[in-house]
């Protein structure tokens, strides 16, 4: 029996202001198939998914559902045909309960709270989700929110579920659970598309993989026909030597005096008596699950969070400090590269030079009245070369750069302040494969040049490759410390979970 694809995309093109985000891509999805989409940031993965989900309409080409040409005007048209999309930024209503979110858009005119809750409970049980239907959606962890979104898709009798980077915010165990669920949905005939930056997930869990590059469909084939190396080659169009960045043979710790010492920091419910020291010339990795208080403690150190700060002491170079504003921390030589660059990292309407120049200005322009524009421009050009930031036009807003280049801009903005301590929070999240190695190299070289580096990352290989010392955070405290020699992925995970 020849199977009729549920979704066929024929020569689809989508342009934004003259730029093709998707250029003549052809794609098909078979019933009961798990199909992985891979490609660098900006390759057109999200655009392709949004075309299928009816969020956007193609500039050229068309979409067939069950062989029939359709034109979706809005996501609800797609959902009527059984197509649901689970977004990266989940689209639950935080003020409603899990149950209300699951039935959202399908409520009867008169709703009974109990009926809604029972219906939701049934679905959640069928999917083996341990989520309380009467909990507020806003109080759920990222993983649980995603589960609720999938449950909603199932309630909507979706035949096609599109998952946009579903594992980005999940722990390894939650990821396994998600793929188990996807396999069970597959058995009931649901077809799934998932976008992933973790190539192993695509190789291990997908039936077929499609590789996009620069808006074009480069290759589609059974997962077994690809290897990690061949995927990367298709994604970036060249061979990429993946290797751990060089680090000095001897320990670079120049002195025994820590650049930063933190003692018994407490903040709200997230940080609970956290203590650690950071030494110059070292990369100190902080591993841990999401919600273990790592970013929060970084924000307390920076003076970014002050409201719930409830105690603890911080020393910088042996001098006790207590910042109430990031500007004070920056003046003392601390820089923080945040985990969400779009939210609080870069200035989206400004160009590369302006972004880097503003970082420099924050530390070195405090006393001036006139903006030293030529100085800022020269400095930005210099950093652009040093970090090989690839931009299109001089005034191209940073928003339109690829994830890797955006991250390099944010890093350059911080490094232009010549910091003594740099805190990296998930530095390679949402960064294209090609730029990850470069960014790791940059992080390593900062420590090799004598500054202290804190590396907060949920990606264990990154922590293991880069760190001289590894701390494991667990529910707001440091649960374990490993030297580079003692650390293994298993031991870190064990410390983070148990």
Partner 1 sequence: MSADSAAAPLTLPNQGSGRRNMLERVVAAATFLLIVAFAATIDGFATTGNLGIILINSASLTVLSCGMAVVIISRGLDLSLIAQMVAGATIFGMLISGGVAAPLALLAAYLSMVAIGALNAWLIAYVEIPSMLATLASSMFIVGLFRFAVLRGEYLLLLPKSDPTVAFFAGRLLPFLPVPVALMLGTLMATWFLLNRTVAGRIIYAMGDNFQAARLSGLSVRVTAIVVYVFAAFTAITAGLIMASASGAVDFRTVTNGTLLFEVILVVVLGGIPLRGGRGGLRNIIVGVALIAVLRNGMTLMNVTTQTQDMLKGLILLAAIITDNYLNPRDAETDTAGDL
Within positions 217 to 276, which residues make up the interface with partner 1, using CB under 8 A?
Answer: none
In angstroms and rounded to an integer, the radius of gyration of the C-alpha atoms of the chain is 24
Q: Which residue shows structure tokens 């001089």?
A: 394
Contact status, residue 85 vs residue 53, Cβ threshold 8 Å: yes
Within positions 400 to 439, which residues make up the interface with partner 1, using CB under 8 A?
Answer: 400-403, 406, 413-414, 417, 432
Q: Which residue shows structure tokens 């309407």?
A: 349
Question: Please, which residue, 55 or 198, has the CB nearer to partner 1?
Answer: 55
SS3 452: strand
- Exactly one of 121, 205, 363, 429 binds partner 1 (CB under 8 A); that residue is 363
Question: Please, which residue, 42 or 82, has the CB nearer to partner 1?
Answer: 42
Query: Could you say whether residue 476 binds partner 1 (CB under 8 A)?
Result: no
Closest CA to 8 of 166, 217, 195, 207: 217
What is the distance between the alpha carbons of residues 62 and 375, in angstroms, rounded to a whole number?
51
Q: What does the per-residue mask of binding to partner 1 show for 46-85, with x meaning CB under 8 A?
A: xx--x----xxx----------------------------
- Exactly one of 3, 18, 238, 485 binds partner 1 (CB under 8 A); that residue is 18
Question: How many residues belong to the chain?
Answer: 498
Query: Could you say whether residue 371 binds partner 1 (CB under 8 A)?
Result: yes
DSSP-assigned letter for residue 88: S
Angle of helix 403-415 relative to helix 433-448, nearest 10 degrees? 20
Query: Could you say whether residue 395 binds partner 1 (CB under 8 A)?
Result: yes
Q: What does the per-residue mask of binding to partner 1 show for 138-167, with x meaning CB under 8 A?
A: ------------------------------
C-alpha separations of 392 from 31, 240, 342, 351, 447 in Å: 41, 23, 19, 10, 30
Question: Please, which residue, 310 or 395, has the CB nearer to partner 1?
Answer: 395
Query: Could you say whether residue 177 binds partner 1 (CB under 8 A)?
Result: no
- Exactly one of 58, 285, 357, 476 binds partner 1 (CB under 8 A); that residue is 357
Question: Please, which residue, 23 or 289, has the CB nearer to partner 1?
Answer: 23
Within positions 295 to 324, which residues make up the interface with partner 1, using CB under 8 A?
Answer: 302, 304
Handedness of CA 412, 413, 415, 418 (dihedral sign): positive
What is the distance between the alpha carbons of residues 193 and 158, in angstroms, rounded to a whole number?
12
- Exactly one of 58, 133, 345, 452 binds partner 1 (CB under 8 A); that residue is 345
Contact status, residue 95 vs residue 138, Cβ threshold 8 Å: yes
Question: Please, which residue, 425 or 468, has the CB nearer to partner 1?
Answer: 425
Minimum distance of partner 1 from residue 250's CB (angstroms): 34
Contact status, residue 295 vs residue 267, Cβ threshold 8 Å: no
Query: Could you say whether residue 349 binds partner 1 (CB under 8 A)?
Result: yes
Token pair belonging to 212: 């996009």
Size of the site for partner 1 (CB under 8 A): 68
What is the distance between the alpha carbons of residues 345 and 356, in angstroms, rounded to a whole number?
11
The contact set with partner 1 (CB under 8 A) reads 16-21, 23, 40-44, 46-47, 50, 55-57, 214-215, 302, 304, 325-327, 329-331, 336, 338, 343-350, 354, 357-359, 361-363, 365-366, 368-371, 373, 390, 392-393, 395-397, 399-403, 406, 413-414, 417, 432
């Amino acid at each position: 029996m020849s199977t009729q694809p549920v979704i066929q995309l024929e020569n689809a093109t989508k342009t934004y202001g003259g730029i093709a985000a998707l250029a003549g891509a052809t794609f098909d999805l078979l019933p009961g198939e798990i199909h992985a989409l891979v490609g660098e940031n900006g390759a057109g993965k999200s655009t392709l998914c949004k075309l299928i989900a009816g969020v956007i309409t193609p500039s050229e080409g068309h979409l067939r559902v069950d062989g029939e040409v359709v034109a979706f005007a809005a996501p609800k048209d797609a959902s009527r045909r059984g197509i649901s999309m689970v977004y990266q930024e989940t689209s639950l209503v935080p003020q409603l309960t899990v149950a209300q979110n699951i039935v959202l858009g399908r409520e009867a005119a008169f709703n009974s709270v109990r009926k809604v809750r029972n219906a939701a409970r049934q679905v959640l049980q069928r999917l083996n989700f341990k989520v309380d239907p009467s909990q507020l959606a806003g109080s759920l962890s990222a993983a649980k929110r995603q589960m609720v979104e999938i449950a909603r898709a199932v309630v909507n009798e979706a035949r096609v579920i599109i998952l946009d980077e579903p594992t980005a915010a999940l722990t390894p165990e939650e990821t396994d659970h998600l793929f188990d669920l996807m396999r069970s949905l597959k058995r009931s005939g649901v077809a799934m598309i998932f976008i992933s930056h973790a190539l192993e997930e695509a190789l291990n869990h997908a039936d077929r993989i499609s590789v996009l590059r620069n808006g074009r469909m480069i290759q589609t084939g059974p997962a077994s026909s690809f290897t990690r190396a061949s995927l990367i080659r298709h994604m970036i169009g060249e061979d990429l030597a993946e290797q751990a960045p060089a680090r000095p043979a001897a320990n670079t710790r120049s002195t025994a005096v820590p650049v930063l010492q933190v003692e018994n920091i407490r903040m709200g419910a997230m940080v609970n008596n956290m203590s650690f020291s950071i030494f110059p010339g070292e990369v100190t990795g902080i591993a841990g699950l999401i919600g273990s208080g790592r970013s929060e403690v970084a924000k307390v150190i920076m003076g970014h969070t002050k409201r719930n700060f409830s105690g603890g002491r911080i020393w910088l170079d042996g001098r006790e400090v207590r910042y109430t504003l990031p500007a004070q921390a920056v003046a003392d030589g601390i820089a923080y590269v945040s985990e969400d660059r779009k939210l609080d990292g870069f200035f989206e309407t400004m160009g590369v030079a302006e972004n880097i120049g503003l970082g420099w200005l924050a530390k070195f322009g405090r006393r001036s009245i006139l903006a030293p524009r030529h100085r800022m421009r020269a400095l930005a050009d210099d950093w652009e070369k040093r970090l090989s930031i690839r931009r299109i036009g001089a005034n191209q807003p940073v928003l339109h750069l690829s994830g890797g280049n955006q991250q390099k801009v944010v890093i350059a903005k911080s490094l232009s302040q010549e910091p003594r301590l740099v805190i990296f929070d998930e530095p390679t999240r949402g960064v294209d494969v090609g730029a990850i190695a470069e960014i790791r190299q940059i992080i390593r070289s900062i420590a090799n040049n004598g500054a202290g580096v804190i590396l907060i990352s949920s990606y264990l290989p990154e922590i293991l490759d880069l760190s001289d010392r590894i701390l494991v955070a667990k529910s707001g405290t440091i649960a374990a410390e490993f030297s580079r020699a003692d650390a293994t992925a298993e031991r870190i995970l064990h410390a983070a979970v148990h």
